[in-house]
Amino acid sequence: MNILIVSPTYNERKNIVRFVESVFSTNPDCHLLIVDDNSPDGTADQVKELQNRFSNLYLECRPGKAGLGTAYCFGFTWALERDYDAIVQMDADLSHDPADIPKMIELLTRNDLIIGSRYCDGVSVVRWPIRRLILSYGANLYSKIITGMPIKDATGGFKVWKRIALEAIDLQSIKSNGYSFQIEMNFRTWVNGFSIFEFPII
């Protein structure tokens, strides 16, 4: 399976080396695309140096900060144009464990979208202030009630997509960002009839 990992960045220079190394240490055959929004801290320059070490590391630079949602849509379009079979979305801030990717990829044999879920097996969150936890959990509960989606973690940003699920979404029409972007993408996948599975992560 031809797999692309998409990670948007903005001022992630302090994390980017460790992030890229951890991705390829557990997923050596995957390709990684960094979508950088002209980070003032020189994240893109650091990625360019890393490209000398990793031939399957790609970089696309956008002119300015345009939001997480548009960065992911840019990366998804990039992946579909290059015929990747599966697309992983994950943050570059080390909050998502690359070691979970092979397990999530395996689940694509029976599903179209795998969500790395913090709430499908109780509450699996560490080192979060209680206010942030309440906000996140409350947002997911609200989302479930309003949309009817049978998803416990609709706002999570660690996912693996089968390409057919992304092809069915008009990515150019996505306008939301942040938490709402994650909810909208899940909702569009759900209403299109694709199967969604939540994989427990921390």
Q: Percent of the chain, pLDDT > 90?
A: 73
**What angle separates helix 130-147 from helix 178-191, to the nearest 10 degrees?**
30
Distances (CA, A) of 173 to 70, 73, 184, 185: 10, 10, 11, 11
| 123 pLDDT higher than 60 | no
Three-class SS state of 100: helix
The predicted pLDDT at position 25 comes to 97
Q: Are 117 and 152 in contact (CB under 8 A)?
A: yes
Residues 73 and 190: their CA atoms lie apart, in Å, by: 18
Nearest alpha carbon to residue 23 among 53, 45, 44, 67: 53
Q: State how far the alpha carbon of 123 is from the alpha carbons of 27, 98, 120, 166, in Å.
A: 27, 20, 8, 28
Cβ–Cβ < 8 Å for 43, 11: yes
**Model pTM score:** 0.90
Locus of tokens 């995957």: 30
Give me the chain's average pLDDT, please: 90
Taking CA 84 as the corner, what is the angle to CA 29 and CA 58, rounded to the nearest 5 degrees? Answer: 60
Tell me the sheet residues that pair with 61: 36
Express each pLDDT in 150-161 by its tens digit.
Answer: 888 888 899 999
